Amino acid sequence: MPVRDLPRLLRTSAVRLALRYAVLYAVLAGAGLFAAQWFTARYVDAQLSAGLREDFQILVDRYDSAGTGALASLLAARAASAPDGGRYYLLVDKDGRKVAGNLREWPPVEDDTIPLDGQVHAVWLDDVAIPPEAGVEDDAYWPVIATRLPDGSRLVAARSVREADQLQLYGQTAAWSSLAVIVVLALAMGLFMGRTILKRIDAITATAGEIMAGDLSRRMPVRADGDEFDALSERLNRMLERIAQLMAGMREVTDNVAHDLRSPLTRLRNRLEVTLLHRRDEAEYRRAMEEAIRDADGLMGTFNAILQSSQAASGTVRAEMAPVDLSALVTRLGELYGPTAEDRDLGLTVDAPDGVTVTGNRDLLAQAVGNLLDNAIKYTPTGGRIRLAVERGPDGTSLAVADTGPGIPAADRGRVTERFVRLGAARGTEGNGLGLALVDAIARQHGARLALDDNHPGLVARITFPAA
Amino acid sequence: MRVLLIEDDGEAAAYLVKGLTESGHVVDHAESGEDGLQMALAVRYDALVVDRMLPGRDGLSVIGMLRAGGDRTPALVLSALGEVDDRVAGLRAGGDDYVVKPYAFRELLARLEALVRRGRPEPARSRLEVADLVLDLETHAVTRAGRRIQLQPREYHLLEYLMRHHDHVVTRTMLLEQVWDYHFDPQTNVVDVHVSRLRAKIDKDFDRPLLHTVRGAGYKLSARP
């Protein structure tokens, strides 16, 4: 990781969190370690005092059983056997003269007396009392025990705290180094975590940059572990997919609009141009003008249909919604389209139970059903049947238009609701290829769904309003 | 009739003025909502043609102001926006009819004339007559030259509408709106089929046709060809 990334890394929430945890760990671990150390020190002190008391008792017992001389030789033997055993003794006679022991003199202490009570006391011992071979340079509170013997002499024993001090020092060093290791590890882990997260975000940011630069085919990296980043990437990828789809659709629409409007515009222009090439009689001019108007009407129709389906599809226009009596709607539409169907020798039946209503826009729904009826009438061969119905099923209320025509192959059913898609057979017939796309858009606008199915034979188109 | 056109697009206005003038109407033209409002308040017009999008005061606001002042002059709203709800908004603001750009001039003219006729008080009549065709509004009986003609209910309404607007062009869209109460654009001309059935019943057995097709516009019921 380059150094210049460090400030950015420090700003990441992962690192901030890691730092916070590192501090918390350090405080907790520190408290634990020092508590343990304190208890250890107390234990060592207690051990020291117990040892000292036991040892002192042996000395007193020796005096009691064998007298001063025996005690003195025992002290001398001890000093000889372990010159620096950390054990110090002094026996002075009742006048304070040294009889035996490895302390140089009776320890002068701050309050001038060591309690002669045979109990262990922590006493500040001065250098003067400590023999140089003890090697103890730092003055310290030593555990000291002293008593007056029956003959008036005094006995004192002390223990060096050097070992205990060393033990405490080790403990402290261990605590501090553990703490340091913990803090370093916590920080390292935080940085590692932050870097891992940053790397994945960087990948997403980089991809977003490439997409912004114009490469819409790029997708966010997805790893196999299915974590939150993968979920985010997948969601973003689906969004990109949808955007790409919409853009492709838009491009197709633009191409198709250009195509659908170019031919009639060219025809219109040529018709007018050719008419003006030569002088003609009024009837000819009139006919040319009327044909031009018809071309223009066709253009306007296509134009309005494109506009309407775009608006319905994008949902930019909020249609006025009100309860619509579907039964009345299909009855009236059946009546409107009946004669047209009859002229083509098609039987149109209307099948609607009374009083079925949905919330919607009556004119838009009429447009949708009208388009479905237009298609059915256009594509069903003479002698066929068309059924217009309001159906109530478990999925909700449906408007259905079923015919006995050629139907639409299952593979193409999804495609025909796209704008301008006209299947092979339909290419020759009139129409702008916007019919089903508009029906689909209107259905969506109503929260309903357009489904095309096999009518065995023929096609059945259903606009299903979900049950409220 | 005297018409006030409030339209800021000069070229579109010029064509409308020309078309309306040649159709025998007197047209005043205002280029802004404010001017239009002043003119509408100063002169008594038979009808207003108001573009919805105008610089300054918009078309719906002009109509709203006039209506608030008690002026009930029929107003036709022109709009480039399209879609159902514009129409609803336009009508709610006090407009009497609504035409979406791009529109056919014949459609606008037919609607404007129908609007003005609608605004005129009509004598209470029990029957409509065009030449020898008679429609009895009370018994719903239709006769031509004394011969009874059987009509389906919708054919009867169609004929009634055509007879009320006799000698005037009515467009397919007007018929769809007025007879079927639908505001949508059927891809095939379903209305034509109904009209031709009606024509078969009232004209077929008679020498003089009454129901005429006006090319590029619609239909006209008239004793004159």
Helix (H, G, I), strand (E, B) or coil at A466: strand
Over range B210-223, report the average pLDDT. Answer: 88
Q: Is the pLDDT assigned to residue B143 strictly greater than 50?
A: yes
Residue B83 has pLDDT above 60, yes or no: no
Segment A410-461, tens digit of pLDDT = 777 776 666 555 554 443 445 556 678 788 888 888 888 888 888 888 889 9
Residue B88's CATH number:
3.40.50.2300
Q: Does B204 touch chain A (CB under 8 A)?
A: no
Q: How far does CA A374 lie from the centroid of its chain?
A: 51
Interface touch B187/A435, C-beta < 8 Å: yes
How confident is the prediction for chain A on average, in pLDDT? 81
Q: Count Cβ atoms below 10 Å from residue A365 Cβ, excluding itself.
A: 27
* A102 beta partners: none
Q: Is the ipTM of this complex over 0.85?
A: no
Whether residues A311 and B193 touch (CB distance < 8 A) is answered with: no
For residue B106, give its domain range: 2-119
Cis bond before residue B102 (omega within 30° of 0): yes
Contact (CB, 8 A) for A14 and A197 = yes
> Which chain A residue lies closest to B182 (C-alpha atoms)?
A363
Please check whether residues B145 and B101 belong to one and the same domain. Answer: no
Q: Give the closest of A317, A319, A339 to B194, CB-based.
A: A339
Sign of CA dihedral A258, A260, A261, A266: positive
Is residue B6 very low, low, confident or very high in pLDDT (cuts 50, 70, 90)? very high
Least confident of A203-207, A312-316, A357-361, B114-118: A312-316
Domain definitions of chain A by residue range: 228-314, 322-466
Q: Which residues pair with A147 in a beta bridge?
A: A117, A155
Among candidate residues B119, B139, B154, the one where a domain is terminated: B119
Residue listed under structure tokens 């003005």: B116
pLDDT above 90 (res A126): no
The single residue listed with the structure tokens 């310290």 is A140
For residues B183 and A304, the answer to whether their CB atoms sit within 8 Å is no
Taking an 8 Å cut-off on Cβ atoms, the answer to whether A374 and B180 are in contact is no
Of A332, A367, A432, the CB nearest to B180: A332
Name the amino acid, one letter, at A363: D
Q: Is B91 on the interface with A (CB under 8 A)?
A: no
Give A105-136 as a 3 state SS string: CCCCCCCCCCCCEEEEEEEEECHHHCCHHHCC
Ranges of beta strands (E only) in B21-119 are 26-30, 47-51, 75-79, 97-100
Q: How many domains does chain B have?
A: 2
Do B92 and B131 sit in the same domain of this protein?
no
Q: Which residues contact A300 (CB under 8 A, 6 or more apart)?
A: B102, B103, B104
A318 interfacial to chain B (CB closer than 8 Å): yes
Q: Are B41 and B30 in contact (CB under 8 A)?
A: no
B20 and B103, same structural domain? yes
| Cβ-based neighbour number of residue B79 at 10 Å | 22
Confidence at residue B196, expressed as pLDDT on a 0 to 100 scale:
92
Q: Examine the fold and report which residue of B98, B119, B140 is the final residue of a domain before the chain moves on.
A: B119
A-interface mutation test, from B15, B79, B83, most A Cβ less than 10 A away: B83
Q: What CATH superfamily is the domain A322-466?
A: Histidine kinase-like ATPase, C-terminal domain (3.30.565.10)
* Contacts of B147 by beta carbon, 8 Å cutoff, 6+ apart: B205
At A425 the pLDDT is 46
pLDDT of residue B39: 92
Q: List, in order, residues 6 or more apart from A453 with CB less than 8 Å away.
A: A413, A459, A460, A461, A462
Q: Are B63 and B50 in contact (CB under 8 A)?
A: yes
Residues of A in contact with B194 (CB under 8 A): 336, 339
Q: Considering CB atoms only, which of B103, B187, B190 is closest to A336?
A: B190
User: Any alpha helices (H) in A219-281, and if so which ranges?
Assistant: 228-277
Amino acid at A163: E
Nearest CA to B64 out of B36, B42, B44 is that of B36
Q: In what order do the strands lie in the sheet with B211-214?
A: B169-171, B218-221, B211-214
Nearest Cα to Cα of residue B52 among B111, B92, B104 = B92
CA distances from A96 to A68, A88, A104, A107, A154 (A): 14, 17, 12, 11, 8
Is residue A42 very low, low, confident or very high in pLDDT (cuts 50, 70, 90)? confident
Chain B partners of A378 at a C-beta cutoff of 8 Å? 188
Provide, for chain A, the percentages of residues in helix, strand and coil under a 3-state DSSP scheme, each rounded to the nearest 5: 60, 15, 25
Indicate yes or no: CB of B187 within 8 angstroms of CB of A318. no
pLDDT at A84 over 70: no
* Best residue of B84, B87, B91, B192 to probe chain A, by most A CBs closer than 10 Å: B84
Report the 3 state secondary structure along A84-101.
CCCEEEEEECCCCCEEEE
Q: Are residues B84 and B157 in the same domain?
A: no
Interchain pair A337, B190: CB under 8 A: yes
CATH of the domain at B133: 1.10.10.10
**Region for A371 from its dihedrals, namely left if φ exceeds 0, alpha if ψ lies in -120 to 50, beta otherwise:** alpha
Put simply, the answer to whether B184 touches A364 (Cβ < 8 Å) is yes
Please state, in angstroms and rounded to a whole number, the distance separating the CA atoms of residues A113 and A120.
14
> Of B119, B138, B155, which residue is a domain's last?
B119
In which element (H, E) is residue A462 found? strand A459-466
H-state helical runs in A322-434: 326-343, 362-379
Q: Are residues B6 and B114 in the same domain?
A: yes
Query: Which of the listed ranges A59-68, A118-127, B44-53 does the model predict with the highest average pLDDT?
Result: B44-53
- Subunit contact B85:A337, Cβ cutoff 8 A: no
Which of A135-144, A289-298, A350-359 has the least mean pLDDT? Answer: A135-144
Task: Check if B15 contacts A (Cβ < 8 Å).
Answer: no
Chain A residue closest to B100 (CA)? Answer: A304
Distances (CA, A) of B15 to A203, B9, B94: 60, 10, 26
Å from A337 to nearest chain B CA? 6
Letter for the amino acid at B60?
L
Question: In B, which residues are within 8 Å of A367 by CB distance?
Answer: 184-185
Q: How does pLDDT run across A144-202, given as a tens digit for each residue? A: 888 888 888 888 888 877 777 777 788 888 888 888 888 888 788 877 877 788 888 88
User: What are the distances in angstroms from CA A326 to CA A362, A367, A465?
Assistant: 9, 13, 11
Closest Cα in chain B, distance from residue A197 (Å): 50
Q: Is A377 on the interface with B (CB under 8 A)?
A: yes
pLDDT for A292-344, tens place per residue?
888 888 888 777 777 776 766 665 556 678 899 999 999 999 999 999 999 99
Q: Which amino acid is at B69?
A: G
What is the number of helices (H) and of strands (E) in chain A?
9, 12
Mean pLDDT taken over chain B: 88
* Separation of alpha carbons A211 and A207, rounded Å: 6
Q: How distant is the alpha carbon of residue A87 from its chain centre?
A: 67
How many Cα atoms occupy the beta-carbon half-sphere of B163 within 13 Å?
24
**pLDDT reported for residue B29:** 94
- Chain A: closest CA distance from residue B79 (Å): 13
Q: What's A228-314's CATH class?
A: mainly alpha
Q: Which of A21-25, A249-253, A276-280 has the lowest mean pLDDT?
A: A249-253
